[in-house]
Structure formats: C-alpha cells, structure tokens
Amino acid sequence: MEELPTTNKIEMMKNFDSWITDNNISMKKIEEFTSNIENVGRMIDNKYLIFKTSGSTGNPATVLYDKQNIDVASAVAAFRTFARKEDFKAFMKNGKRTAGVFANYGFYLACGMSRYLQLQMPRKKNKITVDVNASEEQIIKELNEFNPSMLSGYPSNLALLSNFKELTIKPNVVITGGELLTNEIRKKLTDKFNCYVQTHYSCTEAGEVACECSEKHLHINEDWVIVEPVDKNNKPVGYGVRSNKVLITNLSNYIQPFIRYELTDRIIVHNEKCKCGKNSCWLEIEGRTDDILEFENNVSIAPMSFYKILEEIKEITRFQLIQKSYKKLELRLIANEKDVAFEKAKKELQEFLDSKGIFNIEIFLSDELPQANKISGKYNHIYKDFEESSKI
C-alpha cells in the first residue's frame, strides 16, 4: 500500500469528472440532479446514489455509491453493527423498527440511505428519520408514536432528549454515531432507556469502518476497508500509537475508487487479542467533542443542530461558532464572499434560535479565522468560551 500515492478531498473534487469510472456521470449532471431535494434517496441514471459530506473541515465532498457498495454497506450495517447477539434478536423480534434522529433533509449519508431503503420497500413502515432540528416536542411525539426497537442519533442530541420525562420509548438498543460517545453520555442513555448503548465508526467515503463489540472496542471491517494510521507526513505509525490522520481504502466502491484517501481523524489501532473473540484489529478514535450550548431559561442546544444549519450554507468553506456569553455568539468563517455567507448564516441561526424560544441573541462576524485547538490540533466547530457565571 505504501507504494501507492495518497489523495484527499481537494484532489478528488478538483478532478471529479475524471475520477468517476462512468463517463456518463459529471459534476454538472450531479449538480442538476441534486438541485431537486426530491431526489434524495433516488439514483442518478438509476445506477448511483449521491451523498454529500460536510464542509466543516474546509472541503465538502460528493460521493457516489454503486449497487455493490450499497449492498455491502447495508449488509455490514445490518449484521455487524450490533455489539451483542441478544440485542439483534430482540430487534428482529420487534419488527426491526428503526428510528434515526438525524438531519432529515439533504444528500447526507444517514438521510439519503434511509430514504433509499424506504423507496425500495414502500409498504414497510419500520423505519423513520426524525429531523434533529425539529422542536423537542415534535421529536418526542414522533418517537413515542413509533416506539422504535432501535434508536440512533448523535450522542449530544440523544443526551438532551433523555432529559424529557415525556419521552417514554423502550428501545432494545441505542446506537449512536457522528460524534464521540463519551462514558458520561453512554451511562446517561443507558439509565434513561434501560438498554444497551453503543457506537460505531463510519464515514461517507468508506461506509462502516469499524463496529463496536461487547468489550466496547471498535473492530475494523478489514474485509471491506483498509485502514492506515499515519503521521503528518503520511508515514505509518505503529500499533498503540496515536496517528495524526488516517488513510482509508474502500474495497467495495467501483464507481468512485477511494485509495489511500486522507481523513483527518486521529486513531490508535490495536492488534492485541480482544476478549470478545474477534480476530480483527480494533481502534480508538478521537471523535468530535463540540460543546452543548446553554442559554438563559435553561434551554440547551446540541452542537449538531448548529452544525447542520451552517454546513448547508454553500458559500461557507469552513466555520467555527463560539458562544461568548448567554447572549452572544461569535461566528468565524472562511468563505469566498464572507459578508454574504455571514448574512445567510445569521438569518438561519436567528430563525432556529427563535424557534427554540431563544431571543435577542447577538451574532457577530469575527475578524479571526477558524482555529484548531492548540492542544489536540483538531477543530472544535461549536464550543463555549466564557465563564458559566457570565450573563452578559
């Protein structure tokens, strides 16, 4: 593998039309197709699903899945996602009712794949996606009415929902993704739902990279993805050593090959034997650790709610939202037309906050650019930067 060149989002998107292995597909054709939101979950040319990654790290990507890649991703998710056999059996026995609290719009992986499966099996009513940015009352109403056997979502959002006594669902398992599942949130969700809580490691470019076992180790799906932990110069690091980034090679996607493709995740790969009995290597990942923002009147907003609003604004290349006080938000941007991007972002953020009963928040454009954490080197996209006692 080390003899092959590495690549990244910037190179792929710059050479997109020549990267795709079907000459009938072009970025222009994709842009026309994705301009219609009704095409989420539908195949372009009846051959390929289209997904978008976020632009939070500066370079959004467009990713195509062919039928083979869809089948592999679906099979791995269905048969390897569950850490315990008893949870899988209970899920199957209870009609495979699945509820995901994610962004219920746009060409994102979770939303698009869910919509695709619903279109493939329109008579089956065992899967719903609840919009993460809907009101808590609406989310709770939809979840209670559906009463899922499996609940999935971003850890921070599910943690906030678990505070509501009105949420009375009894899932057999909770599977989180998209953010780091901390021990604190894992316990909180376990106590609320009285079931097993787990996570997984996936990305749009490679699908399910690693699935959690009963020992809470993330085992790499080595038959479908090659994972290379590397340093900043793309040189391999050893087992037990934290990488600066990771290179992934997707072995099932033939329409858009990902070979030694760079992700900014920091991981540690372990080769010691796991007590669960699986022989594959397992990894630890340094996931997103953005803050839940708290406002006056005890209103809290999960970071992914802000994240999904800002990444939808096409003019924004990279963002960082910093809470300076209960009444003030600083927005750092990288954008071609920064003033235009800021006005759109400000409008969307204010409308969202108003819908949550949070009024008169000052949102200002910073003179500073988004900055990486000086300790970890990672970008915190949403975080607090003030003393809790500050009310101004």
> Strand pairing of 328-335 and 316-325?
antiparallel
Using a pLDDT cut of 70, give the percent of the chain over it. 94
Tell me the pLDDT of the chain averaged across its residues.
91
Residue 375's pLDDT is: 44
Residue 133's pLDDT is: 85
> pLDDT band at 152, cuts 50/70/90?
very high
User: Residue 223's closest CA among 263, 270, 279?
Assistant: 279
293-384 belongs to which CATH class? alpha beta
97-134 per-position pLDDT tens digit: 999 998 777 888 888 888 898 888 877 788 888 988 88
In DSSP terms, 323 is beta-bridged to 329, 384
Residue 387's pLDDT is: 65
> pLDDT band at 244, cuts 50/70/90?
very high
166-215 per-position pLDDT tens digit: 999 999 999 999 888 999 999 999 999 999 999 999 999 999 999 999 99
Res 376 pLDDT > 50: no
Given a contact cutoff of 8 angstroms between Cβ atoms, the answer to whether 120 and 113 are in contact is: no
Tokens 């065992």 belong to residue: 126
Neighbours of 35 (CB within 10 A): 8
Residue 179's pLDDT is: 86
Residue range(s) occupied by CATH 3.40.50.980 in the chain: 9-208
Would you tell me the crossing angle of helices 109-120 and 67-80 to the nearest 10 degrees? Answer: 100
Residue range(s) occupied by CATH 3.30.300 in the chain: 293-384
Please give the model's pTM, rounded to 2 decimal places: 0.83
Residue 53's pLDDT is: 84
15-41 per-position pLDDT tens digit: 999 999 999 999 999 999 999 999 999
Tell me how far apart the terminal alpha carbons of the chain are, to the nearest angstrom.
Answer: 55
9-208 belongs to which CATH class? alpha beta
| Cα-trace Rg, the chain | 21
